[in-house]
Structure 1
Amino acid sequence: MATDNYYLLDYGAGNVRSLVNAVSKLGYTLKTIETASDFEKAEKILFPGVGAFGYAAEALVRKGFVEPLRAYLDSGKPFFGICVGMQVLFEGSDESPDAPGLGYIPGRVRKFSAQDKAVPHMGWNHQTLAKHPAASASNDWSYTIDGRQTYYFVHSYAVPYAALQKDWTLAVTQYDQEQFISAVQLGNILCTQFHPEKSGQAGVNIIKAFLDRPVTVCPPPQALARPTVTPISVPLAHRDGLTTRVIACLDVRANDQGDLVVTKGDQYDVRERNTATNEVRNLGKPVELAKRYYEEGADEITFLNITSFRNVPMHDLPMLEVLRQASQTIFVPLTVGGGIRDVTDPDGKAYPALEVAGEYFRSGADKVSIGSDAVYAAETYWKSSGHLTGRTAIETIAQAYGAQAVVISVDPRRVYVSDPSQTTHHTVQTRFPGPKGEQYCWYQCTVQGGREGRDLDVRQLVVACQALGAGEILLNCMDRDGTNAGYDLELIADVKAAVSIPVIASSGAGRVEHFAQVVQQTGVEATLAAGIFHRREVPIAAVKAHLQQAKISVRTA
């Protein structure tokens, strides 16, 4: 089924490898649009957009693609836009007010209200079809989206659903009290706000439907006075349509033989105890284990590189190949952490963090996780009274790839005090007194894999990182890591109250009840576990079944 006239419109931002891999798995090949003349050769175009609206719009102008793209859309040939690839078809976006969109679809992209929910809107959500299927219509795409399935969204801006776009609107999604357009279609133009290439088999099926469909030419949308399917009134969807994510985390490091293995330890000690060799604990190979979790229903997979890999050229970073291989068969979001900072090769060549992140994105990552570097950036932020330099890793990556691409991995530990007056840091009153009966504690941020404590508390860190542009918090707890005693609910609730971006609860889960407990008592958007999944002590399916029993919405594969 290989073809030379199906093209990818890649403007140079974000992870397009997953889409290319999905297309390849389906038996097709894509050529990349290099010049304006390629638009005339194309019979089908896929336009995946990741990152900021302005970055995409300006890239189209810079490459001279605006008018050729308009001409292609006017030609009536098939077009599939994804996320920002959909948004640029509208008139503009509040994200980048000075960057005009193509104006092909009426309306403007607006930012979500953060009054009652986390922004970005990140995770698996439902959608309601806004058009009646018409089986006889040659340009009816409604069958491609399954209203029974959830698809993966990650965005801070969306187009509010309104009568203005009723002829275009194919599907609508609810996020708390806001309804937005999650898919548009008219003629041979099909676009989704969600990422089908990251939506498991349900998403791959949409891509397959687009590719398998015979190449036909429809009248351009302007010539279609009314769509061939009838718009319907979309009811207010269930406000809990966004599911709670269950994330599998893989701590990856080199063992003593130099092989990459998935490992796990207690309080960050990953070597076998009570053995003569004291070897690094080996729980499996990263790619194989990640594939297993995908097949078992993990909503996301996170790789944390816990080896420094100093003096390794950037193009040989070990995690790059892990991502390349994993993204060939795993079609849910992949996050990679460890080493996302300014680096210098052994030959003296320097690379800013933005370029390092770019290598990971091009290798298959959807998000990068920043640890120690985030702590240093937060310290500078507070010392400068909240001044934004625009030069930190968080700021530069978020500006190019969007806030949703930047995760902050937090490794705090408890410091007990008898009274809040004994410290300048934010304290919580705890139900678990310290060794001397202390009733209060503050959470000290650490760096270098927990080996070094800093004069910065967790609330200072997360507030600063949100201001710098981060889109999500991965909240670990050194005191609970490896204990199987449950998540640190006091820490998680305190952080959740301090920020409006999504929070992932990590460290301490040992039973299915712990997952429901942390969601119900803190309102986190996602839960994460590692060792209990690796050792098959608690299957992912069992976690989701328990969450469903607790009336917590989850994605079912």
Structure 2
Amino acid sequence: MPGLYMLDYGAGNVRSLVNAVNRLGYELQFVKDPSDILKADKLIFPGVGAFGHAMEALNKKGYAQPLKEYIASGRPFMGICVGMQSLFEGSDESNLAGLGVIPGIVKEFNKDTKAVPHMGWNAAQVLKSTPEGADDATISGQAINYSINDDSEYYFVHSFAVPYTDKVKDWVLTTTQYGDEVFVSSVQRGNVFATQFHPEKSGYAGLRVLRSFLTGTGIVDDSKVVVKEPVVPANRLTKRIIACLDVRSNDNGDLVVTKGDQYDVREKIGDGNDVRNLGKPVDLARRYFEEGADEVTFLNITSFRNCPLGDLPMLEVLKRTSETVFVPLTIGGGIRDVVDPDGTIHPAFEVAGEYFRSGADKVSIGSDAVYAVEKYLANGCKKDGTSAIETIAKAYGAQAVVVSVDPRRVYVKDPSETIHRVVKNSQKGPNGEEYCWYQCTVKGGREGRDIDVHQLVTACEALGAGEILLNCMDRDGTNSGYELELINDVKAAVSIPVIASSGAGCVEHFDEVFEKTNVEAALAAGIFHRREVPIQNVKDHLRKCNVNCRAVDAEL
């Protein structure tokens, strides 16, 4: 399709969308100049992050007016995430006006009743059909529902949404329930189609949506469409199962997936002391996608200090992974200021941008988050806008910033012995202590700092982080279950989503952590790598326990 264009204003991960379109057998051309927009026969506008940042970029690059002219011309348009939000009149997130194609204002979710951002896999209820009641019918060569299926789940990641009201009723293709709110999850009218969810990150269910736009005419005769009222469904937001790959170079210089035992990744038995090798990162990531992982996280535990930013090995890993893995990808490790061998300085914001452009959807910040919080606390809990958390969140949105916490227990006989937040722990200390505080560490757990987890996570949320990846050094590699006391304490302290990590050893541990902590996601590594606990077994067990989880789409 020579006239298929994508409008990239410079925000986030568009590589995954390009790879998804390529996977479906099509090639995209990039809009490089405002005049290119009006050359398109079909136009896709993906957006990531903040509404204001997107509209500012569109206006600055001269794209806004040609974009409105293109839509008014009647040619097919598809927007994704902020690309959908930009069609409305404005957003509470910014003072800048939207394109004004659709009436309505984008609103922030209520943080008092649920975790925000809305992050994960949720259902989309189709509201448009033919008079005969078929929502998958084709009119003038285009499926009304663009292959969105009531029975599938799609990947959402956003803090702002358009509430469903009668004002936007004629535009609404699907609605989605998140907690106590019903919002517009896709729109369709004439030549306009847009989704709040990310089809390129929604597995094969999402690829089918993209395929419908690419193969169809992209235009629906609205006079032949019947609109129905949404029915408030049962909660369909699923619990996420995340596969984590610790990646580092072995003694031969090859990148391998490894797994530590309380953060020690070297073999303890046999003739050698080599780095434990569990496979190649790209191959394992593809396997996890096919087995049903809801997300894949790469934790780069090799520094690559003498490597120029553009040559970082993990960039290539991400690029290759995103060609065949169509679920969200997170990269952690090395998200900090980087100095090239020639002395060129790259701030953390620029480093994150390289990872996003290489295929990452989120970046995970570890040690630098601790240092940023120490500075924040020393400054009287005042933000200065310079930390990696703040700069990345400002441009790419809070949902793009994950803070990875590496704490360890410090036991005390009595809470009065420390100024830090103390938790009563089921695992007693070496001298029978019942209480402990969780000390944050840096440098891969090698150095403890005088800051506890409660201080860290609350400060990181204030700085703009969108998710917490909560590890526990004492549980790492033990297969003894998650650190429930720690997880509950963090869940009560923040309103952003939390991922439980460290300690999973059997399917029952996943049910236990979801039931006893209400955490949004659970992560595991070694048991998935070695197939000791297959991902499908975890999901089968969760369904038996009435825990919502995404079904595995085996084929396109």
> Under a length normalisation based on structure 2, what TM-score does the superposition of the two structures give?
0.97
**Corresponding residue for residue 123 of structure 1:** 120
SS of the equivalent of 1:335 reads: strand
Aligned match of 2:87: 89
Aligned mates of 1:382, 1:294 — CA distance in 2: 40
Among 97, 102, 106, the alignment partner of 2:103 is 106
What is the CA–CA distance in structure 2 between the aligned matches of 1:42 and 1:81, rounded to whole Å? 14
C-alpha distance in 2, partners of 1:84/1:71?
A: 19
Question: Hey, what does 2:514 align to over in structure 1?
Answer: 519
Would you say 1:201 and 2:204 are equivalent positions?
yes
Can you list the C-alpha shifts for 1:518-546, whole angstroms capped at 9, x where unaligned? Answer: 00000000000000001110000000011
Within a 5 Å distance, the mapping from 1:131-210 to structure 2 comes to 131-133=128-130, 135=137, 137-138=139-140, 141-210=144-213
SS in 2 for 1:73: helix
CA distance in 2, matches of 1:143, 1:277: 56
- SS state at 2:256 partner: strand
**Of 352, 373, 380, which residue of structure 1 is paired with 2:375?**
380
Closer/same/farther in 2, CA of residues 266 and 136 from structure 1, 3 Å limit: closer
C-alpha deviation, 1:484, in angstroms: 0.2
RMSD: 1.1
Written as runs of structure 1 = structure 2, the 5 A alignment for 1:341-360 is: 341-360=336-355
Higher mean alpha-carbon deviation, 62-71 vs 207-216, is at 207-216
What does 1:200-349 align with in structure 2 at a 5 Å threshold? 200-214=203-217, 227-238=223-234, 240-349=235-344
Check conservation: 1:327, 1:364, Cα contact below 8 A.
yes
* Secondary structure, aligned partner of 1:41: coil
Deviation at 1:136, TM superposition (A): 5.7
Conserved? CA contact 2:128–2:144, under 8 Å:
no
Query: How far 1:435 sits from its partner (Å)?
Result: 0.8
Secondary structure of 2:374's match? Answer: helix
Task: State the AA in 2 paired with 1:121.
Answer: H
User: Of the candidates 43, 46, 50, which is equivalent to residue 45 of structure 1?
Assistant: 43
Cα distance in structure 2, aligned partners of 1:382 and 1:136: 58
With over 3 angstroms needed to count, the CA separation of the structure-2 counterparts of 1:436 and 1:136, relative to structure 1, is: closer
8 A contact 1:167–1:227 mirrored in 2: no
Other structure's SS at 1:251 match: strand
Unaligned runs of 5+ in 1: 219-223
Task: Specify which of 68, 72, 75 is matched with residue 73 of structure 2.
Answer: 75
Secondary structure of residue in 2 paired with 1:166: helix
Matching residue of 1:24: 22
Q: Counterparts of 1:418 and 1:66 in 2: how far apart (Å)?
A: 63
Per-residue Cα deviation, 1:460-511 (whole angstroms, up to 9, x for no partner)? 0000000000000000000000000000000100011100000000000001
Query: Once the two structures are superposed, what CA deviation does each residue of 1:356-394 show, in whole Å capped at 9, x if it has no partner?
Result: 000000000000000000000111111111100001000
State the 1:274 CA deviation: 2.0
The counterpart of 2:32, out of the listed 34, 52, 73, is 34
Aligned match of 1:221:
none
Q: Are 1:532 and 2:527 an aligned pair?
A: yes
Q: Which runs of 5+ in 2 are unaligned?
A: none
Tell me the CA shift for residue 271 of structure 1. 0.6
Equivalent AA in structure 2 for residue 406 of structure 1: V
* Inter-partner Cα distance in structure 2 for 1:315 and 1:228: 52
Please show how residues 429-508 of structure 1 align to structure 2 within 5 Å.
429-508=424-503
Residue deviations 1:283-325 (CA, integer Å, cap 9, x gap):
0000000000000000000000011111110001110000000
Q: Which string of whole-angstrom CA distances, capped at 9 and with x for unpartnered residues, describes residues 105-141 of structure 1? A: 0100000001221100000001111112463632653
- Within 2, Cα distance between the matches of 1:552 and 1:522? 13
Which residue identity lines up with residue 38 of structure 1 in the other structure? D
> Are 2:129 and 2:144, in contact at CA under 8 Å, matched by a contact in 1?
no
1: CA distance between counterparts of 2:77 and 2:93? Answer: 24
Structure 1 contact 155–404 (Cα < 8 Å) conserved: yes
- Counterpart contact for 1:342–1:352, Cα < 8 Å: yes
Show CA shifts across 1:180-234 (max 9, x none).
0000000011000000000000000111111111476x7xxxxx8x653111111
8 A Cα contact 1:141 1:190, kept in partner? no
**1:318-377 CA deviation, whole Å, 9 max, x = no partner?**
100000000000000000000000111010000010100000000000000000000001
What secondary structure is seen at the aligned counterpart in 2 of 1:495? helix
Q: Pick from 389, 398, 411: which aligns with 1:394?
A: 389
Offset of residue 57 of structure 1: 0.3
SS at match of 1:310: coil
SS of aligned partner of 1:532: helix
Q: Aligned equivalents of 1:310 and 1:15: distance in 2?
A: 24
Flag the 1:227–1:159 CA change in 2: closer, same or farther, 3 A: farther
The question of whether the paired residues in 2 share the 8 Å contact of 1:263 and 1:283 is answered with yes
Identity of aligned residues (%): 65
What does the per-residue CA deviation read over 1:22-63, in whole Å, with 9 as the maximum and x for residues that have no partner?
A: 111111111111112112210000001001000100101001
Task: Give the Cα–Cα distance (whole angstroms) in 2 for the partners of residues 232 and 536 of structure 1.
Answer: 46
State whether residues 45 and 80 of structure 2, in contact with CA within 8 Å, keep that contact through their aligned partners in structure 1.
yes
Shift of the alpha carbon at 1:411?
0.3
Letter matched to residue 68 of structure 1 = P
In the comparison of the two structures, how many residue pairs are matched? 546
After TM superposition, give the deviation of residue 66 of structure 1 in Å. 1.1
**Partner amino acid for 1:182?**
S
Aligned-residue offset at 1:261? 0.1
How far apart, CA to CA, are the structure 2 residues paired with 1:523 and 1:378?
A: 26
Separation (CA, whole Å) in 1 of partners of 2:88 and 2:277: 50
